[in-house]
Amino acid sequence: MLNPQLNKNGELQHLLTIEGLPKDVLTHILDTAASFVNVSDREVKKVPLMRGKSVFNLFFENSTRTRTTFEIAAKRLSADVINLNIDSSSTSKGESLLDTIDNLTAMHADMFVVRHAQSGAPFLIAQHLNRSNQPHIHVVNAGDGRHAHPTQGLLDMYTIRHYKKEYSNLTVAIVGDVLHSRVARSDIHALRTLGVPEIRVIGPKTLISSNMEQMGVRVFNSMNEGLKDVDVIIMLRLQNERMNGALLPSAQEFFKSYGLTPERLALAKPDAIVMHPGPMNRGVEIDSAVADGTQAVILPQVTYGIAVRMAVMSILAGS
């Protein structure tokens, strides 16, 4: 199947999902990100790579954190950033998604950063731009439904590489609501492409699809078994609406079985790192002692997230 993210020269035209991207494309993004990490420490935190370019943050679903990091990343590349929270503007007036895109295209957008509650929405936009002969406009998926959150996946890979150097000898566990998690899916594709030999997902059967193994992971329903000797623990956020209902009886019971406590963390390798895409629910999926502990790398993830997003946007703008 044709990968709709790559142009005919094999260059990245859009970033929609990590699935199907070659290893060298991922490595190139991570290497580029490394060169941007220091930009944030400079007195003038800007490089002129996207001067004169307009980046539209199109958030059809609420987000403060991801939108802010994309905004900072674009501004550090000297781009002009326009934030649109479409939840409260045009679609509620009945305008269709593609009409919105056409209108913004007429305003000479160079890049759309899209978050949408529906899996696949950024694909629709990218295909529409390609079809309507606007291939110079790039689409970055900032999270679509349960499907993908590729920049989060990449920043997770950056963080893992920073602390662990190599991927080829690691065991990585992803814990919690895998079923609804776009972060988990992007992490799994990235970890596989980069050569991590063992990827585990841990959670109750209501939050892990029975055919998840076909994505190349080992499924554990027991936290104690799943965490044994792992190098990296990626905790997932449990959305409020999942906590009381047919998926889970209560947040308390979830924490009892799957919350990351210091005792459980001790089952992992002594130098294991703990990651979380944020925002955290302390006492639901993670104990404060772990979240604030020495093995947590949750705040560095946020810092690297800006460098990774700068890398993605600058690579797309240069293609």
Partner 1 sequence: MKITILNGRLIDPANGIDAVRDLYISDGKIAAILEPGQVMDGFESNRTIDAAGLIVAPGFVDLSARLREPGYEYKATLESEMQAAMHGGVTSLVCPPDTDPVLDEPGLVEMLKYRAMTLNQANVYPLGALTVGLKGTSLTEMAELTEAGCVGFSQAAEPVLDTTVLMRAMQYAKTYDYSVWLRPQDGYLSRNGLAHGGPVATRLGLAGIPIAAETIALHTIFELVRATSARIHLCRLSSAAGLDLVRKAKQEGLPITCDVGAHHIHMTEEDIGFFDSNARMLPPFRSKEDRDAIRQGILDGTVDAICSDHTPVDDDEKMLPFGEATPGATGLELLLSLMLKWAEDCGSAPEAISRAIAKITCDAAQVAGLARGRLSKGSAADICIFDPKAQWKVIPSNLASQGKHTPFLGHDLPGQVRYTIVGGRVAFEA
d(CA 240, CA 164): 32
Residue 142 makes contact with partner 1 by CB under 8 A: no
The answer to whether the beta carbons of residues 74 and 131 sit under 8 Å apart is no
Minimum CB distance to partner 1, residue 180 (Å): 8
92 binds partner 1 (CB under 8 A): no
**CA separation (Å) from 229 to 163, 192, 198, 199, 269?**
16, 19, 11, 12, 5
The rounded distance, in Å, linking the Cα atoms of 190 and 30 is 12
Please give the structure tokens belonging to residue 178.
Answer: 């895998």
Residue from 7, 119, 221, 295 touching partner 1 (CB under 8 A): that is 119
- When asked if residue 89 is in the footprint of partner 1 (CB under 8 A), the reply is no
Among 212, 219, 232, 248, binds partner 1 (CB under 8 A): 212
Name the residue type at position 12.
L
161: contact with partner 1 by CB under 8 A: no
214 lines the binding site for partner 1 (CB under 8 A): yes
Q: Minimum CB separation from partner 1 for residue 303, in Å? A: 27
If binding is defined by CB under 8 A, does position 278 make contact with partner 1?
Answer: no
CA atoms within 13 A on the CB side of 110: 17
Kindly list the strands in the beta sheet with 138-144, ordered across the sheet, starting from the edge strand earlier in the chain: 80-85, 54-59, 111-116, 138-144
Select the residue interacting with partner 1 from 74, 81, 97, 273 (CB under 8 A). 97
Q: Which of 14, 185, 264, 309 binds partner 1 (CB under 8 A)?
A: 185
**Closest approach of partner 1 to the CB of residue 239, in Å:** 14
Q: Which is nearer to partner 1, 1 or 44 (CB)?
A: 1
